[in-house]
Structure 1
């Protein structure tokens, strides 16, 4: 799989979702499509619940542009449209549990018959050899399994960012498995959905500004279920069917446990209550965000185990998973029965995560490390000057105009954090960057050194910029609408140039521009506040 194409798939879905969520949120608030708080829910204000539209549309757009429409892909997308419609109708006007369940079954059948995706082997579950399903049982079992995953993800969507974050971990694990298995189209589907989901999660982390709703949770469960089938049931697949079960084990076992308890109490298995795993952690005294982080950690551990031990016999992997899960369940029951022995859990704070002591300590360390952006930008400026004058590059003329305009705007505003000023600085620097990237063609000996040096500088700037983005102090920069527009245009132009084969150097330069832009924002932020 081409890494450049993977980047395009991810970036297209990411920016499509980032751009779509704000107008969707405004429309939902104006039209009243919001999730009202009640005794069962943990949020206290009405929140829009149609974020799943952005996830699915961004995913579909990226797939239609880049992914080869092989029969399995066509089947997944066709069934995805059915499950999307089911979730959307439920979010906007409401559906009974029976009708929603029927929509899930129809979506699964569409994918089975259009894409030919069905479960025909369960792997070596008991150590006695592979278990093969007879043809008459393959389709019903496939529908049963995928509908189970759909409802597991749907029921997991009880805290801000929980279902989305667990799905991100699962999709990342699936993408790695698909890559190692040579299943390019499955990997592309995972990457496209991963980009769309991360774009949405920016607005869904605690405290959430929008929910994914059933449009999102049903769609995610559907995609994860059939991606697991796609990974394990192809003729040349080397991924054991047990591996996706371990990756998705937490939501699956939680759903089985909760539904079993409801049936034992003669209630509907779909009746809402507060008996899920995340509710138990809240009962222990953990606050909202740390409950989500803790469940992320559990999912990440099992995802890592599934990848590292993917070649282990299926029955051994499954027994290990069930054994460890049983031990953790018994430990959780003991903690719930004797909460007075675990008072340290109640030391958690309900304040925003950026007010936590540990977070601020880590953010301070990263803020100090970010000082390294100054010498990095200085070194890169020296390279630009050398190439511009020694190499006879003419790019300095256009860049000079842009930089002069930026200087004029700074004189007027005295605000180096102004997004438009940064955009002009960025455009001018990007123009000169292209000269550095192409200098090796004029002088392969010296130019090759400059290109390697620029690659290292951009890598360092990208790492520091992303760290500052995720670990911000009060007053630090944040991504604005203008930033999203600029980065979105970068991704779009890079895609266009790549497909038109105009210039590979120009396409790569545009991708590097994102790192340069973040670096300029960090430096500008320090200039203003320090």
Structure 2
């Protein structure tokens, strides 16, 4: 695989999002697919009420078109490519249904947690058995060491936990304009480089297609956002990030590359646990990006800071793999 294929895929993803965005946003607005804002959230967010949501369809289309087109052209469309797209679109459909119910009933609650969990588990199990047919190793590698843990058939449990966990982690992070689009692009680019080093062209094409599509989406999602990705986008990205880490056998490295998502999730868990046990809150509001907002940071400052953290973590993770 040459670097030119990576750049072509990155550009294709960006271009398709940039083209689809201006066509999709007016449609979403006409259909009154507006975002409902939580009343208990920061008051500064109330002005975002009615901003079109479900914008994840913009980059989902871009990713599918770019991945399929480039992979077919270079003869790199594989079973792994199919699994990647199934997880992306499967989790995206769950998010789409969740967003749709919120819009129909004009509330901030869509599918129940149990309904989403069952759907996510089914998609994860399907992905596992598709990979199992290719001779996929049920192993977990410890980064920067020669240690490899063989989970055997229990790997399916890890895979379900990993995909569902990161899908929801990215979903929790999606609360500020451009936050997930930026951090997601950084994370997928990092795994794209890792896949390139591993000579997994199919996986690298997908990763850079996602990175490019998110950068294109960022044109419309940066502050002030003209469109939100909604659960349609965030659940899909989290699931896809999880499966990419699995296919590179760098699962645990995702904890570093996706540190922003990990911290956001941990802040919610700590907040809930502290309130239940101590009846006291640790943060002014969780996820932690809201804590910084209520501490006086502007939304743009929080987002850019988290982007920088994402870039630093990605570099720390990727450099040892490249050098």
TM-score range, shorter chain: 0.7 to 0.9
Contact 1:148 / 1:252 at 8 angstroms: preserved in 2? no
Residue of 238, 253, 262 corresponding to 2:272: 262
Looking at structure 1, the residues matched to 19 and 147 of structure 2 have their Cα atoms a distance apart, in angstroms, of 50
Aligned to 1:448: none
Change (3 A) 1:125 1:201: closer
Structure 1: which 4+ aligned runs deviate by more than 6 Å?
125-128
TM-score (norm 2): 0.85
Aligned to 1:510: none
Aligned to 1:471: none
Q: How many residues align?
A: 299
Matches within 5 A, 1:103-122: 103-116=119-132, 120-122=138-140
Residue of 212, 223, 233 corresponding to 2:229: 212
Aligned to 1:248: 258
Aligned to 1:51: 55
Aligned to 1:197: 214
Looking at structure 1, the residues matched to 203 and 128 of structure 2 have their Cα atoms a distance apart, in angstroms, of 16
- 1:90 partnered with 2:98: yes
Equivalent position SS for 1:275: coil
Residues 38-57 of structure 1: CA deviation (Å, up to 9, x unaligned)? 43152513211111001111
Change (3 A) 1:129 1:10: closer
RMSD (Å) for aligned C-alpha atoms = 2.5
Matches within 5 A, 1:439-518: none
Equivalent position SS for 2:248: helix
Looking at structure 2, the residues matched to 301 and 276 of structure 1 have their Cα atoms a distance apart, in angstroms, of 21
Change (3 A) 1:101 1:193: same
* Aligned-residue offset at 1:178: 1.4
TM-score (norm 1): 0.53
Residue of 299, 302, 317 corresponding to 1:288: 299
Residue of 200, 203, 207 corresponding to 1:183: 200
Contact 2:163 / 2:243 at 8 angstroms: preserved in 1? yes
Question: 31-40 or 150-159, which moves further after superposition?
Answer: 31-40
Aligned to 2:33: 33
- 1:309 partnered with 2:320: yes
Matches within 5 A, 1:20-419: 20-39=20-39, 40=41, 42-45=45-48, 46-67=50-71, 68-93=76-101, 94-116=110-132, 120-124=138-142, 129-133=147-151, 135-232=152-249, 240-266=250-276, 274-310=285-321
- 1:16 partnered with 2:16: yes
Residues 196-241 of structure 1: CA deviation (Å, up to 9, x unaligned)? 1111110000110100001100111111111111111xxxxxxx54
Contact 1:76 / 1:115 at 8 angstroms: preserved in 2? no
Residue ranges of structure 2 left out of the alignment (5+ in a row)? 102-109, 278-283
* Aligned-residue offset at 1:109: 1.6
Equivalent position SS for 1:215: helix
Contact 2:95 / 2:235 at 8 angstroms: preserved in 1? yes
Looking at structure 2, the residues matched to 3 and 125 of structure 1 have their Cα atoms a distance apart, in angstroms, of 24
Looking at structure 1, the residues matched to 202 and 146 of structure 2 have their Cα atoms a distance apart, in angstroms, of 32
Residue ranges of structure 1 left out of the alignment (5+ in a row)? 233-239, 268-272, 313-530
* Aligned-residue offset at 1:303: 1.0
Contact 2:87 / 2:240 at 8 angstroms: preserved in 1? no
Contact 2:88 / 2:237 at 8 angstroms: preserved in 1? no
* Aligned-residue offset at 1:288: 0.6
Contact 1:74 / 1:115 at 8 angstroms: preserved in 2? no
Aligned to 2:281: none
Contact 1:178 / 1:184 at 8 angstroms: preserved in 2? yes
Max radius of gyration: which structure?
1
